[in-house]
């Protein structure tokens, strides 16, 4: 989902300030304290008066989100599929550069997307580039040459790796002439960062 908001959280009689991030499988909070709530662990959910009340077996956590509270509840209760969150549409040509899970490839084919392998097709509307180690980022400038007009490039990389951080991924995209505009949880182990051409070059 990739929604991030600065907010106040009330938990166990204390208040904390920081940022909450809503992803497909969990809610993360970083600030005066840090924690995460797996969506699968939520036993109750209510949005009222700008507050999102999240119930788990450990208790209730209240996120003060203002107008976004109801929207976050809807996204948690009715989550979009991965392909929806990635913006892939039926009939589009999609290129996969690198190694991707077989079920992801199958999902693309089932929705009617044309899937190219290991080389970015000229008519690709979405290019997925897998970088599993920092050295893989050296290939990005070459792949980025296939980004034109409204083409999007999703760089998929492992979560929680100190050897290749989000800052490494973002700076590699910038050096390749792209700008990042969105982050999506690709899976339990990987994150996808969306790159496009700057508006001045489209």
Q: What is the CATH number of the domain that holds 115?
A: 3.40.50.150
**Cross-strand partners of 94:** 115, 126
Indicate whether 21 and 61 sit together in one domain.
yes
113: helix, coil or strand?
coil
Q: By percentage, how much of the chain surpasses pLDDT 90?
A: 67
Q: Provide the number of structural domains found in the chain.
A: 2
Which of 52, 77, 102 terminates a domain? The answer is 77
What is the domain range of residue 102? 82-201
Indicate whether 46 and 11 sit together in one domain.
yes
Q: How far apart are CA 132 and CA 190, in angstroms?
A: 9
Reply yes or no on whether the pLDDT at 1 is more than 50: no
**Cross-strand partners of 29:** 20, 35
Q: What is the pTM of this model?
A: 0.71
More confident residue, 122 or 159: 159
Tokens of 109: 């084919």
Indicate whether 95 and 193 sit together in one domain.
yes
Which of 31, 55, 77 terminates a domain? The answer is 77
Which of 15, 47, 77 terminates a domain? The answer is 77
């Amino acid at each position: 989902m990739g929604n991030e908001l600065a907010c106040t959280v009330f938990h166990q009689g204390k208040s904390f300030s920081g940022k909450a991030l809503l992803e497909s499988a969990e809610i993360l909070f970083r600030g005066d304290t840090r924690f995460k709530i797996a969506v699968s662990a939520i036993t109750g959910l209510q949005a009222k008066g700008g507050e999102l009340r999240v119930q788990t077996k450990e208790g209730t956590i209240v996120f003060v989100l203002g107008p976004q509270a109801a929207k976050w509840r809807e996204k948690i209760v009715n989550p979009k599929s991965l392909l929806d969150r990635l913006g892939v549409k039926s009939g589009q040509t999609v290129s996969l550069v690198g190694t991707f899970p077989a079920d992801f490839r199958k999902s693309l084919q089932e929705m009617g997307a044309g899937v190219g392998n290991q080389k970015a097709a000229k008519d690709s509307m979405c290019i997925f580039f897998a970088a599993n180690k920092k050295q893989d980022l050296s290939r990005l400038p070459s792949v980025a040459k296939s980004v034109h007009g409204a083409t999007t490039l999703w760089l998929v990389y492992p979560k929680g790796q100190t050897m290749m951080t989000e800052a490494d991924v973002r700076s590699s995209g910038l050096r390749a002439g792209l700008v990042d505009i969105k982050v999506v949880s690709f899976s339990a182990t990987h994150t996808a960062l969306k790159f496009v051409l700057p508006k001045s070059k489209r």
